[in-house]
Amino acid sequence: MQTNNSKEKVRQLQNKLYLTAKKCDSRRFHALYDKVYRDDVLFEAWKRVKANKGSSGVDGIGIEDIEEMGIEKYLSEIKSELMDGKYKPSPVKRVMIPKPDGSERPLGIPTVKDRIVQMAAKIAIEPVFEADFRDCSYGFRPKRSARQALEVVRKACNNKGYYVVDADIEKFFDNVNQDKLMKLAEQRISDRRILKLIRQWLVSGVLYGNVLTISELGTSQGSVISPLLANIYLNTLDRLWEKYGLTHGILVRYADDTVIICKNKKNANHALNLLQYIMAKLDLKLHPVKTKIVSMWDGKEGFDFLGMHHRRMTTETSKGQLYKETYQYPSRKAMRKMKVEIKRNVNSRSLLIAKEEDLIKNLNPKITGWKNYYSTKTNEKWMQALDWYIICTFTRWYNKKHLLGGCVTNIILDPMLIFGLAFFPKMGIAGAALATGVGQLVSLIVYLVFYFRGPVPVKLEARYKIPGGNTVKKLYGIGIPAILNLALPSVMIFVLNGLLAQYSRSYVVILGIYYKLQTFLYFPASGIIQGMRPVIGYNFGAEERERVGKIYKITLAMAGVIMAAGTVLCLTISNTLIGAFTDNAETIAEGGAALRIISAGFIVSTVSVTASGALEGIGMGVQSLVISLLRYIVVILPSAFILCHLFGGGAVWNAFWITEFAAAVVAEIVYRGTIKRTMPKPR
């Protein structure tokens, strides 16, 4: 088999066929089959199939298997089968690919042999049909790309394209009329052997498990030839639109993904009606829900096309003049897919033992691909958000990996030092403290070992090691309120202890016991809020107002459930809880009564605690401090003083739930006002 310079020979063949077809749009080609089994065509087909990778089909023979048995031998066998007319395609193996929304998309995997023959046939016939394809089609065509389609859409929307028909063809690949497709192919090809090949691929059937299904409709998604057949079928749409639809709007098509950009709503309605008419001619239907007319006029609506969300937004010139421009940035679906892929490559438990360099090596090609596709002059903010997500994901992986030694050490030493197991002395609570300290020391040592042993992935230049004034201001703007938030409970307890000591020492003991119990109660809720901070901050920075609201509500609900459980425990077994810290009967009785009163404010406290955490997460430290001041100083201390002097020392416990109700009201007002003031309305 002669395969020298196959790429150049194939290019010359395709150029000749294209120019011949372009000269006469009515010419039918009758001698194409012999081009399919040419040595250079088959070898080039093999190279392209190998480059696309892919799994084995129903015969179980993969690319590696073919390389082992000998490529030239394998291609010679295919050539012989084609020349003798003995080639018969195998059924397509069906696999189900999960979608982000939980549903599944069927994908057909032909055998490697069928993929090679399909690619060879595509090389031979594509130039003939390419001569007929219209400029509005961009999908799976030589020298055309999704980026080109996106640019046409952007320019059309900027050029008074105020209404867009966002069309979705319902199950296109499953509903292609095979007979009509063959008639369309016959308009350019008279070679019966080529037509027979195409028909064979259409009716070869789909094997799912042990069940073979042969349908009179559809083309197999995943087949090499399928995108070309889709373009042949939908070229009817392109031709009819060129003849009847240009007055209504600009059609842009990428395979079965279609949008029409129109100047007004009247044109959009006419465009949609014409599109439905053409679809009926092709025995296709538009999805009744997914197909819609989108108003781009005021920027309140947008549409997704080829992984990008398109929306008119107000922007500003260098001279301060405002104008509307169509922004293109990754759609929510695309962002979700990218994040899932990042998690899959970094955040899996099995990857905790992996080297950082290997993770970066695997992920970098994907990041480069995303950057090359999604980077536009209007989506810098969204790409920065993705960068931040990658950094956070790697940080979590790094912490899990390097803190593992300290955590394991702490877990092992805890029972040994507390109960005096093995050769360790029995130390009780002091042993738990020592185990924690040793665990943290081990974590520090692990960090230092990894830091000095291997290269640090992020290097800071000297000029960046000294923060600027604005950065310092932002850090202290959050840090100082956070410091005060931590100090306020101590101030409150100090004042309350002084107040309660005047009435009974048992009240002071009860207050101390309550705050020990409170630690256990609020700890899981605080953990949820701690996890909320980076997530809500990330979405706040991306101006995802809807998502910020959703995160806040979910966190509020989760914390509320925990506090509700705490309320139930305090109401039902309050004396038992107090009894865990003291055996004084009087203190237990008074403490149980106090705990039942205080618990009235547990559930409502989730509002102020969650709002305070959310405000810190979005960088509003002062607003968070205001809420904390209400909870620990401004409301509770005056309330406690007044109640004690009016009703005695036992009335002080009512100040806790009164404070929580007051703080909840103010917290909700402050949070909503801050979000409304600092974030745009949902897109």
pLDDT tens track for 142-161: 999 999 999 999 999 999 89
**pTM exceeding the 0.75 threshold for the entire prediction:** no
For 579-625, write each residue's pLDDT tens digit. Answer: 877 778 888 888 889 999 999 999 999 999 899 888 888 878 788 88
Q: What mean pLDDT value characterizes the chain?
A: 85
Mean pLDDT over 114-136 rounds to: 95
The Cα-based distances of 250 to 230, 245, 262, 437 in angstroms read 20, 8, 7, 68
pLDDT of residue 683: 47
For 194-221, write each residue's pLDDT tens digit. Answer: 999 999 999 988 888 888 888 888 888 8
Q: Which of 196-210, 301-315, 394-408, 428-442 has the lowest mean pLDDT?
A: 394-408
For 338-349, write each residue's pLDDT tens digit. Answer: 888 888 877 665
CB 591 within 8 A of CB 513: yes
The Cα-based distances of 197 to 36, 78, 112, 180, 426 in angstroms read 11, 14, 16, 16, 82
Alpha-helical runs (H) found in 542-635? 545-572, 574-579, 585-598, 602-617, 621-629
Q: Say yes or no to pLDDT of 83 above 70.
A: yes
163-168 β-sheet, strand order: 250-254, 257-262, 163-168, 292-295
Mean pLDDT over 630-644 rounds to: 90
* 91-97 long-range Cβ contacts below 8 angstroms, 24+ apart: 91/58, 91/204, 91/205, 91/206, 91/207, 91/212, 92/57, 92/58, 92/204, 92/205, 92/206, 92/207, 92/220, 92/222, 92/223, 93/57, 93/58, 93/206, 93/207, 94/206, 94/207, 94/208, 95/55
